[in-house]
Structure 1
């Protein structure tokens, strides 16, 4: 439980933790590559630690030295069936991507997760993998699942039916680990970290518009990976800097991959003043980001930008409570399938603070600007890290005391979040 109060300003220079999506993928590709992969700035969080433990259960040696994580890979043949049930905790990314990897590697495994993860749909991965030869049994498309040794087709053709990079990556990993010729069509332009990193590990990846093609029998080689700061984590401080007057805040070395930086595009459309100073990088593009207090305006948010900002929508909704006019967010039904139903949880919790917000089937209607108010008001993150962090930022612009009942959920992606907050608040 955290007691939170309004801030007069935020001042400081911070570096956010390593990108969660990239951290997962670096570990997985290092595990199926030949040689020792060295990962700098790997995110130390519950979800990424889950991926690390699962790979170790599959026979991969992973060690830590200061800020360097070493993954000793012996190719796909170096993996073996786990001796124990694989517990994915609360990590949807671990579950879906590793399902593809395990299926492609021809392993046997049983997968479980916590109560929240066990309610999330896994059939979106199970079905396309089953269509190309995977043998997976499940609990009506949910966990627990059992993966039986599978022999995939030599050629995989898949068109992404939903805007999910996890589904796309599961199929790509299954193709690479099985040696199949693999083609995936992604009209949604979901985050492309898997494609970018496969190339970094030496795979031949051809991109032709929405079509991603990987020839058969790829052999990955160890790489040195520097994980940039997570823009999903940075988004909370960016919005805080926009909403808290007299702030002087810079976020260093943030990943600004165009398939992930929809939050910057949206905030710019809302009249936000955000300075982006890009840096040279061999892998993912990075930048220092400086937000300035801004008078925001309402906009409509829908369509192709949604997959590029789906994890940032809760904090975008908070920004919209201070924007002049009516903000409408559509095409975001994927929010219902996150760690919580984020359409319901965002709406419920911000209403407690006086926000004028309505939930819709696929998004929100928000009227602003509204001065949020609390009287020792209890709010809940619903065991969802992004909801808990959004509510914490909301407290910085709320008159009165806000009490966050489940602050420990931030450990999923940002264990040092409250420590950083304490350094920034003036």
Structure 2
């Protein structure tokens, strides 16, 4: 599917049901595999990353099956996980790698984690170093900073950890390890990162204490299988929020989108830029809020995106950069150095991609400076295997003068397998 040409749209109109939340799907599957008893997950995201999580669980002896958009797991507890006979391949999923490191640290077995070429370049030391201090034995490339990594868990001691950068993956890994540790494990962050793990641990019967930017668990807690209803992913909805805001005519309705407050930075920033977004029919089943979002065209203007809001929209920066390139005035994104160690160096690849489409972009050490234009000419842009870049360039193509040829559009399958088909249903030319 490389080299897909996305032509300009004159209007967008329709209701879009985006896939289940990727972060929540990962955690529901992993906690279901760690729990005792049956776990049922509805609206599970069957994208490449989440399927990697299920595949790793199967190698640990967890039985599961997919029934349409549902996943059913039969957990026996981490103490009864089977030592895998082969390596655990996380594919392109950093979430799978880091969360499994924490879960495996709590289990008395040995396992080796690896992944694709991109994952093998993504640093793991922020997880492996504190796990070693808790008592896990971990060896791997460059003193345990890169996969392949071999871990032998068990015998952990509770640990108080302060992170230098807010990271839900690091926090989650240490909390999962803490479940198998002797004593209390706590994680304190400089800003609050997404809290899906904390919410879901409570749903699975684990007491979780939260005080400001600190969260803690006590070792020995047992997880009980649950039913988890996964909301639509706001990170996937973000592409349609930007498209609907900048399209010439029409409106887009997005039902059942997750509105966890640690994830709604995209709504706050787009509204600050002048977007016309309504939040309707709010409800909160099983601890995760959701709502219908309705977006209509608006005149957007530049803004500053920095500080505590960055962890609440870190995955949405590529599509926000597209919005900024078409907004009046200047947008500055700072405090986002974390983007340099995602699926790609998202600061560099976003800057290069937008410049190739005719945008006025300056790369900063920790972000971007973008001076908006009324319309981008278009051209060619590479995804570099990054799903969020692929979808961002497709939206840019719809909003451009001449269209965009997206190289590597197949990367969208990581989080939104039917992305192009959904676009075709709502785009008017």
What is residue 252 of structure 1 aligned with on the other side?
255
2:340 aligned counterpart, secondary structure: helix
In the superposition, the TM-score normalised over structure 1's length comes to 0.97
1:31 aligned counterpart, secondary structure: helix
Q: Distance in 2 between matches of 1:406 and 1:61?
A: 34
Aligned in 2, Cα 1:182/1:278: closer, same or farther, shift over 3 Å? farther
8 Å CA contact retained: 2:156, 2:182: no
**Among 134, 144, 148, which residue is 1:144 paired with?**
148
For each residue in 1:2-53, what CA deviation from the matched residue of structure 2 results, as whole angstroms up to 9, or x when unmatched?
1111001111101100000000000111111111000000000000000000
Q: Distance in 1 between matches of 2:280 and 2:34?
A: 35
User: Mapping of 1:203-242 within 5 angstroms?
Assistant: 203-242=206-245
**Among 390, 408, 411, which residue is 2:410 paired with?**
408
For each residue in 1:68-125, what CA deviation from the matched residue of structure 2 results, as whole angstroms up to 9, or x when unmatched?
2111011122212101011111100000000100111122011111111100001111
8 Å CA contact retained: 1:152, 1:180: no
What is residue 273 of structure 1 aligned with on the other side?
276
In the superposition, the TM-score normalised over structure 2's length comes to 0.97
Q: Distance in 1 between matches of 2:10 and 2:368?
A: 29
Aligned in 2, Cα 1:57/1:259: closer, same or farther, shift over 3 Å? same
User: Mapping of 1:33-182 within 5 angstroms?
Assistant: 33-140=35-142, 141-153=145-157, 155-178=158-181, 180-182=183-185
2:179 aligned counterpart, secondary structure: helix
**Among 11, 14, 19, which residue is 1:12 paired with?**
14
What is residue 360 of structure 1 aligned with on the other side?
364
8 Å CA contact retained: 1:50, 1:94: yes
What is residue 322 of structure 1 aligned with on the other side?
326
Q: Distance in 2 between matches of 1:236 and 1:37?
A: 31
8 Å CA contact retained: 2:326, 2:376: no
Q: Any unmatched runs of 5+ in structure 2?
A: none
Count matched residues. 423
Deviation at 1:215, TM superposition (A): 2.4
Hey, which bits of structure 1, 4+ residues long, moved more than 6 A? none
Deviation at 1:403, TM superposition (A): 1.1
RMSD: 1.1
